Structure 1
Amino acid sequence: MDLFHLNFRRRINALVWARRAVVLAAVLAVWVWHRHWGGVIALVAAGLVLVGSLQAWEASARRQFIREASLPGFLIGKLRAAHPQLQERDAELVLRGLRQFFMAHLRSNRKFVAMPSKVVDTAWHEFILHTQGYQRWCAAAFGGLLHHSPAEVLGRDARRNDGLRRTWYWACKEESIDRRKPTRLPLLFALDAKFGVPGGFQYVPDCQAIDRQSGSDAHCGTSFSDSGGGAGDAGGFGGSESSGGDGGSSGDGGSGCGGGCGGGGD
């Protein structure tokens, strides 16, 4: 069986079942050969190496699925109906932002991530309403359902602050942005301002770029690395730096838009 010629879901399912089969085989080996500890230890060690390799391959397949698998075609129409200012190519860019959000959830080892964009939240909510399709998509992308949470900004809730920091950390990593001293915004954090979304969240990369005395309601990318203020696990971006996530490099083919849509409000 050539895994590279299977579709995304079959490939991922094959890797999941292969990993389970290796674990089961290791358990059976211990039970059958328990009197031959030298052989058992060697088999278990080989099994652990194989399981680790399969897990890495599975994670890579899920990342590829999130980046490349088709999203429902009706989302474009739903987005444009909810936000009439969007052209078709604008709606497609919003869906790329949704993929970036999904990637943040996967790469943070499926921890809670918070949604920082009102327009991307619209796309996510419309996708969820297509219940069976969304469940199938989540099963392939994450191995389980990603539940909806409203779009928000940093506040007093430490847990949700950690969720936003994880989103920021991995969105920046996808686009090779310095998450502590950003010079531009990742796509997901730039979209509301870019498309003038009513009630949307506006971000700038650095707090020095705005004059608080002018009454600006923009939020700062540099705030995600600040400590204190009920920020939760701020030092590790919601634990992302300490856990390392999947350890992928920042330039591994992410679906971000690069420097063309950062800046929040162009």
Structure 2
Amino acid sequence: MIPALAIGIAFAIVLAVLWSRYLRLRRERYIRDFVLPKGLYERLRKRRPELEMKDCMLVARGLRKFFLAYLNSGRKFVAMPSQVADDLWHEFILYTKAYEAFCQQAFGQFLHHTPAVVLGPEKRDNEGLRRVWWYACKEENINPANALRLPLLFALDAKLGIADGFVYSPDCKSSRGGSGNGNVHCGTDFSDSSVDGGTDGFGDSSSDAGSTGGDGGGDGGGGCGGGGD
């Protein structure tokens, strides 16, 4: 009787693990293939008239990375590192029914908005930024602890010349030491405990974590953004 019970429990555990993995992969594919509601790029361009349509598509691609970071972290809190990606996410939220339906399919729960931030005194924001840096890097096959280039989401604002955007560099020493520009935020800071006394969120484990990697799915008319629980 006891061996049969043990086998039954083990079988149930295996099924639960397989189901969890299947569900995450299905949600990941949904995020990659999702198409934004019609007219959303036009609304973004009203906020940011300097953007061309191809720029909006790039923003959507970055936002897709953000959603994937949230999913692959096990739906832990993630903070938004890009002002222009935050703009597109905010516009998406205004399509209330479409946004709610997306969240349910992509995450199984609603994602509430959190404003774009940089590392600072708020430890929860810092944890969320470290977490999205980690998963955004992993998605693009970048070493989060020793990045030689920026993941798209962290490069968007500078790449598109966003006036109030957040400018990142993968290497603090080359950007700050060379130019003395204190407005540059650096990838190496995410693994540096001197910022707030810890590195919470940087590579933390999750039963739901992990990604198949790659940037499958096109961005023509599609894309999205995310926040935290």
Q: Work out whether the TM-score is over 0.5.
A: yes
Q: Deviations over 1:26-65 (max 9, x none)?
A: xxxxxxxxxx444333223212211211111111111111
Q: 1:156 maps to which residue?
A: 121
* In 2: Cα distance, 1:241 partner to 1:225 partner: 12
Q: 2:209 maps to which residue?
A: 246
Q: TM-score, normalised by structure 2?
A: 0.88
CA change 1:227–1:200 in 2 (3 A) is same
CA change 1:140–1:247 in 2 (3 A) is same
How do 1:208-223 residues align onto structure 2 when only pairs under 5 Å count?
Answer: 208-212=173-177, 214-223=180-189
1:245 to partner: Cα distance: 5.1
Aligned with 1:59: secondary structure? helix
Q: 1:113 maps to which residue?
A: 78
* In 1: Cα distance, 2:109 partner to 2:128 partner: 18
How do 1:172-211 residues align onto structure 2 when only pairs under 5 Å count?
Answer: 172-211=137-176
Checking the alignment, whether the CA contact within 8 Å between 1:205 and 1:221 is kept in structure 2 is yes
Aligned-residue Cα RMSD (Å) equals 2.0
1:146 to partner: Cα distance: 0.8
Q: Deviations over 1:191-220 (max 9, x none)?
A: 111111121100111012213563441111
Q: 2:214 is matched by which residue type in structure 1?
A: G
CA change 1:93–1:66 in 2 (3 A) is same
Give aligned-pair identity as a percent. Answer: 47
1:76 paired with 2:37, answer no
Q: TM-score, normalised by structure 1?
A: 0.76
Structure 1: any 5+ residue segments left out of the alignment? 1-35, 258-266
CA change 1:60–1:119 in 2 (3 A) is same
Query: Which has more helix, going by share of residues?
Result: 1
Larger mean CA deviation between 61-70 and 209-218 belongs to 209-218
1:86 paired with 2:51, answer yes
CA change 1:256–1:175 in 2 (3 A) is farther
How do 1:33-48 residues align onto structure 2 when only pairs under 5 Å count?
Answer: 36-48=1-13
Q: 1:7 maps to which residue?
A: none
Structure 2: any 5+ residue segments left out of the alignment? 219-229
Checking the alignment, whether the CA contact within 8 Å between 2:78 and 2:132 is kept in structure 1 is yes
Checking the alignment, whether the CA contact within 8 Å between 2:176 and 2:182 is kept in structure 1 is yes
Kindly indicate whether structure 1 or structure 2 has the higher relative contact order, using CA contacts under 8 Å at least 6 residues apart. Answer: 2
Checking the alignment, whether the CA contact within 8 Å between 2:191 and 2:202 is kept in structure 1 is no
What number of residue pairs does the alignment pair up?
217
CA change 1:155–1:121 in 2 (3 A) is same
Q: 1:253 is matched by which residue type in structure 2?
A: G
